[in-house]
Amino acid sequence: MFKNVFGSGFLVRTAHVILTWVITLILFLHDTELRKQEETGQLVQPVLFVLLVLVSVLLYFAVSLMDPGFILSDDSDLQFTLGVTEEQQDMIPPTTKSLRQRRCGHCLLQQQPMRSKHCQTCQHCVRRYDHHCPWIENCVGERNHRWFVLYLAVQLLVLLWGLHIAWTGFSYAPTWQLWLRTNGMLLAVAVLVALLSLIVLLLLGSHLYLVSLNTTTWEFMSRHRISYLKHCGADENPFDRGTFHNLWGFFCVWGTVVWEQVYFREGSDQV
């Protein structure tokens, strides 16, 4: 289920964890409300904040190391030629009246499930591929997408809480020079946390929007090049089942979905 911890993303993950705990330590060392509550024995908020940071780190590692839905090829696929891009893959001749399978020319996968894509970085096809995230050094796909969204939500909560804590730690000084000398470190942390909060907010908002439409980042950005979407209308999404059902299916329904059955359904009624 999990990839090697000491793989190519080891430095990225280490930097993320170090930065997270360094910022947390700075918030405790300065004269913020966390430190004041700790000194007066009011430990509820400090403990909750540390636990929330810990949860965010654990979710980060879970999403980063989890199998996003890799599809392993077998020896019978060696007959196919390398070097064909995902968007240019041929359609395998129909096996039934309404079902066609796609072939991947990179990892020699003969029958590539619909909505999957080959990741050049991970060197595997990924089910319901969304994107490859350099932040977690892993793909976001069918198996870890909901955990990625949950991680973004928890991380945003941590960042906003941390920004509030940093704001409470600024102290008064008669001059700007003295103020910067006194609050410079805390100001740098606040600016960094504010920037990260904006990034995470935009990421979370965009993912929730796409999930509500039952589409992925890859499908949204490369619609005109994807074989099963480029013939659809600009506002047509063959996988859209309505906002409620899309959100329910994404967060509450576990297991692999056969998207070919949804795509090739009879008539135009939503499934």
133 a catalytic residue: yes
Measured between alpha carbons, how far is 179 from 171 in angstroms, rounded to an integer? 8
Q: Are strands 138-140 and 131-133 parallel, antiparallel or unpaired?
A: antiparallel
Residues forming beta bridges with residue 220, ordered by sequence position = none
Task: Give, in degrees to the nearest 5, the angle at Cα 127 between 57 and 150.
Answer: 30
Exactly one of 119, 122, 125, 133 is catalytic; which is it? Answer: 133
* Tokens (6 digits) for 166: 């940093």
- The closest of 136, 169, 141, 137 to 155, measured between CA atoms, is 136
* Cβ-based burial of 93 (10 A; exposed 0-12, middle 13-18, buried ≥19): exposed
Q: Which residues are catalytic?
A: 133
